[in-house]
Structure formats: structure tokens, C-alpha cells
Amino acid sequence: AQSVTQLDSQVPVFEEAPVELRCNYSSSVSVYLFWYVQYPNQGLQLLLKYLSGSTLVKGINGFEAEFNKSQTSFHLRKPSVHISDTAEYFCAVTNRDDKIIFGKGTRLHILP
């Protein structure tokens, strides 16, 4: 069965600084990977996804992620964060058996 580990429960970062949110997965077969964002008191929305092809994936709001098969990682990055990026970010994985499994989430705190 697949699983997802988000290595940081909270990440504080200064406004306009770069940020990386880490995600590692485990699966015995090929996977699809996703990052979702949840703003306070809202549902989740998709930031980006990796299904196949280029390992560098660009998403909305200036975020990007890189799929690294050898390290089983799918880290999320943004070169310069804004106060509006304050949210909880979830990494998710599926090995194509229809289940989509989420990590425990990383809270991004933007410091002024």
C-alpha cells in the first residue's frame, strides 16, 4: 500500500523568502503525486500534480514541485512567498488503484 510522509508539521518563513515543503512517499509501483492547499475554514484545492513526463511540475500561485523517483520525493517549492500563502499544504499519492492517500499536512506560516 502507498503512504505519504510530510517531514515538517509547521514551516515558518519570512515574507519574500523562498520555501520548500518536503514530501516523501512509499509505493511498490508507479505513482501519481499531488499537492493540495487548504486555506483557513475552506476545503482543499489542487496546486499541482505529477502524472508522467517532465519531473518538474509547475502549478498555480507560483508553486512548483520536482518528482525524484530515486529519492521517492516530491518536494514543493516557491521562490518568494507572500502573506497570502499562509495555509496548510497536503501532499497526496495514488498508485492508480483508485485510492488517493494524503499526508498529515504542513502549516506554512509567513512572518512579516
Partner 1 sequence: NAGVTQTPKFRVLKTGQSMTLLCAQDMNHEYMYWYRQDPGMGLRLIHYSVGEGTTAKGEVPDGYNVSRLKKQNFLLGLESAAPSQTSVYFCASSGDRDRPFGELFFGEGSRLTVL
Judged by the rule CB under 8 A, the positions of this chain that interact with partner 1 are 6, 9, 32, 34, 36, 42-46, 49, 51, 90, 92, 94, 96, 98-105
Report the nearest approach of partner 1 to the CB of residue 15 (Å). Answer: 26
Report the nearest approach of partner 1 to the CB of residue 102 (Å). Answer: 4
3-state secondary structure the chain: CCEEEECCCEEEEECCCCEEECEEEECCCCCEEEEEEECCCCCEEEEEEECCCCCEEECHHHCEEEEECCCCEEEEEECCCCHHHCEEEEEEEECCCCCCEECCCEEEEEEC
Identity of the residue, 15 or 38, whose beta carbon is nearer to partner 1 in the bound complex? 38
